[in-house]
């Protein structure tokens, strides 16, 4: 029998979709460089890019923050970040040395114009000494309340454009707190930067498996013809987390699950599943189709919100063998808070492809496990030839599951005959696992996104109208929830799959939530 061998195949997500290019020499200025995101994600991602994709010669990072550090302390901090959070370990001393020689620190308040003058001088110096050619990326990784003053100061210092090279700005989430604030932020950035300079980040779009949704749909001939209301019965999108709010009480109180996960990550997943094929795999063509899905969302307003959404908070309980406190007992949380840590909702997309197909979304913290998946349940066969008296148990509908994380892969459930003289049917799975087909490690989402920004490719970022369309849908829900009394917030025990009402919510339609 031939031996099954694991071949290190090229990853089509890396190799196939984009002509391989190296970014031009550039500098990335990180505002808020002493914060958690820089420490856990940005510096490790840049180091991994240095290790794997040759970053351009002279690539430099300027940390801009308030703490009294110097270049040396910033480099030491960066080394700590990489040692702790890098995907690739241990640190390669040669790569590190060359990477660290391009790290610089500038201490300043975000509101102080003198700090931006110093920044302009430093950037000019780096252009000359490290050959960065006037190409700049500004990364806003501070609390969002500081975005407006940073943007304004960049403009006032003339750093929003440069005669010699290109200038881009990356804006971290949360992008606004509601529709008016998102519009206002767009307006403020738009006064200083042109839309093609603005990269609004949603790290879910940098995940390999999220990009694979489009590859799966559009690089294969057999799925697209059945990807519509004639064949699809309903869709379930689950983003479950076993972690709680992880000490981020103050942030989460202002956010809640709908702002933290639904407005951005989950609606992005939805658009990729539901969009029409774009005319090209190119930023504006992709954004155009995603925006159409968001515009086609049936608005949830008034009573529809009550009937089509469930929100709840975790109580105490046990998660992964640990006893955990309830949300109201977390640090920084108001004991009378009505902020939700779980949301389930049903929505419809009013267009020809999806009219009448329910999309069920749910996300929550302190659920039994971490899992993100999209399950497409297809309609049953038009005529069941195998009567229930012959078949043991029910013939389950076909379900295609795109597993985003962990155990990344795709599986298709179908009915098969159990070997034997009688006609028993059982559901079986056809499985694809990333881990076994592509032996290589997947890059972290931030690696892909930072590299794309350096290359000037904004396909995996969100456009102005896209963010506003997502907020428009969410705003209707927020408005209605605000009018609801405290008692409408349910509680679920930590370590369970959410409140009982969420099960009843989907049973009413004759379905049940998947147990991933």
Could you confirm whether 265 is annotated as catalytic? yes
Minimum distance from CB of 241 to ligand BG6 (Å)?
5
Separation between Cα atoms, residue 453 and residue 455, nearest integer Å:
5
Count of residues interacting with ligand BG6 (CB under 6 A): 3
Residue whose CB is less far from ligand BG6, 241 or 340: 241
CA contacts within 13 A on the Cβ side of 184: 10
Touching ligand BG6, residues 155-194 (CB under 6 A)? 173
Q: Is 365 known to sit in a ligand binding site?
A: yes
Q: Is 203 known to sit in a ligand binding site?
A: yes
260 binds ligand BG6 (CB under 6 A): yes
Q: Which residue is nearest to ligand BG6 (CB)?
A: 260
Separation between Cα atoms, residue 239 and residue 514, nearest integer Å:
12
Please tell me the chain's helix, strand, coil percentages from 3-state DSSP, rounded to the nearest 5.
40, 20, 40
Separation between Cα atoms, residue 96 and residue 442, nearest integer Å:
21
User: What secondary structure, in 3-state letters, does 368-397 show?
Assistant: CCCEEEEEEEECCCCCCCCCCCCCCCCCCC
Query: What binding mask, one character per residue, do residues 219-248 give for ligand BG6 by CB under 6 A, x or -?
Result: ----------------------x-------
Separation between Cα atoms, residue 285 and residue 200, nearest integer Å:
17
Minimum distance from CB of 442 to ligand BG6 (Å)?
12
444 binds ligand BG6 (CB under 6 A): no
Residue whose CB is less far from ligand BG6, 23 or 244: 244
Residue 280 · residue 360 · CB < 8 Å:
no
In angstroms, the first-to-last Cα distance of the chain is 35
340 binds ligand BG6 (CB under 6 A): no
Q: Is 125 known to sit in a ligand binding site?
A: no
Pairing of strands 359-364, 232-240: parallel
Separation between Cα atoms, residue 152 and residue 148, nearest integer Å:
6
Q: Is 207 known to sit in a ligand binding site?
A: yes
Residue whose CB is less far from ligand BG6, 243 or 355: 243
Residue in 265, 287, 322, 366 annotated catalytic: 265
Give the contacts of 94 (CB within 8 A, at least 6 positions apart). Answer: none
Q: Name the site residues for ligand BG6 (rule: CB under 6 A).
A: 173, 241, 260
Residue ranges for the binding site?
66, 173, 203, 207, 241, 260, 365
Residue ranges for the binding site for substrate?
203, 207, 241, 260, 365
- Enumerate the active-site residues: 265
Residue ranges for the binding site for NADP(+)?
66, 173
């Amino acid at each position: 029998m031939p031996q099954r061998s694991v071949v290190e195949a090229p990853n089509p997500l890396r190799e196939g979709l984009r002509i391989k290019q190296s970014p031009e020499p550039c500098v990335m200025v990180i505002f808020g460089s002493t914060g958690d995101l820089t420490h856990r994600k940005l510096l490790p991602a840049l180091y991994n890019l240095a290790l794997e994709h040759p970053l351009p010669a002279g690539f430099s990072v300027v940390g801009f923050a308030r703490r009294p550090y110097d270049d040396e302390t910033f480099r030491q901090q960066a080394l700590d970040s990489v040692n702790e959070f890098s995907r690739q370990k241990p640190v390669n001393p040669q790569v590190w040395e060359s990477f660290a020689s391009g790290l610089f620190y500038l201490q300043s308040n975000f509101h102080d114009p003198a700090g931006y003058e110093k920044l302009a001088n430093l950037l000019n110096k780096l252009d000359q000494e490290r050959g960065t050619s006037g190409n700049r990326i500004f990364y806003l990784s501070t609390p969002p309340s500081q975005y407006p003053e940073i943007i304004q100061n960049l403009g006032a210092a003339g750093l929003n454009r440069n005669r010699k090279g290109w200038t881009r700005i990356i804006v971290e989430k949360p992008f606004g707190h509601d529709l008016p604030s998102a519009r206002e932020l767009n307006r403020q950035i738009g006064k200083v930067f042109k839309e093609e300079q603005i990269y609004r980040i949603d790290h879910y779009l940098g995940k390999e498996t999220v990009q694979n949704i489009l590859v799966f749909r559009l690089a294969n001939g057999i799925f697209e013809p059945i990807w519509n209301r004639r064949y699809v019965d309903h869709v379930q999108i689950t983003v479950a987390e076993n972690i709680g709010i992880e000490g981020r009480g103050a942030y989460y109180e202002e956010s809640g699950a709908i702002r933290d996960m639904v407005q951005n990550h989950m609606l992005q997943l939805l658009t990729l599943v539901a969009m029409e094929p774009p005319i090209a795999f190119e930023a504006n063509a992709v954004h155009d189709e995603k925006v159409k899905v968001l515009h086609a969302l049936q608005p949830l307003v008034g009573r529809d919100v009550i009937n089509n959404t469930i929100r709840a908070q975790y109580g105490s309980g046990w998660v992964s063998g640990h006893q955990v406190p309830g949300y109201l007992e977390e640090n920084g949380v108001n004991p009378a808070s009505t902020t939700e840590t779980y949301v389930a909702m049903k929505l419809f997309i009013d267009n020809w492809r999806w009219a009448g197909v329910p999309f069920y979304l749910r996300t929550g913290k302190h659920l039994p496990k971490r899992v993100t998946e999209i399950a497409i349940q297809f309609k049953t066969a038009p005529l069941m030839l195998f009567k229930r008296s012959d078949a043991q148990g029910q013939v389950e509908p076909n379900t295609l599951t795109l597993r985003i994380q962990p155990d990344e892969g795709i599986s298709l459930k179908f009915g098969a005959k159990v070997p034997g003289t009688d006609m028993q049917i059982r559901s079986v799975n056809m499985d694809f696992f990333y881990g076994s087909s592509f032996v290589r490690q997947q890059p972290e989402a931030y690696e892909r996104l930072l590299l794309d920004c350096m290359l000037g490719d904004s396909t995996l970022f969100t456009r102005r109208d896209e963010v506003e369309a997502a907020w428009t849908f969410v705003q209707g829900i927020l408005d209605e929830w605000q009018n609801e009394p405290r008692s409408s917030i349910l509680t679920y025990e930590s370590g369970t799959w959410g409140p009982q009402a969420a099960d009843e919510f989907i049973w009413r339609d004759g379905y049940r939530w998947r147990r991933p």
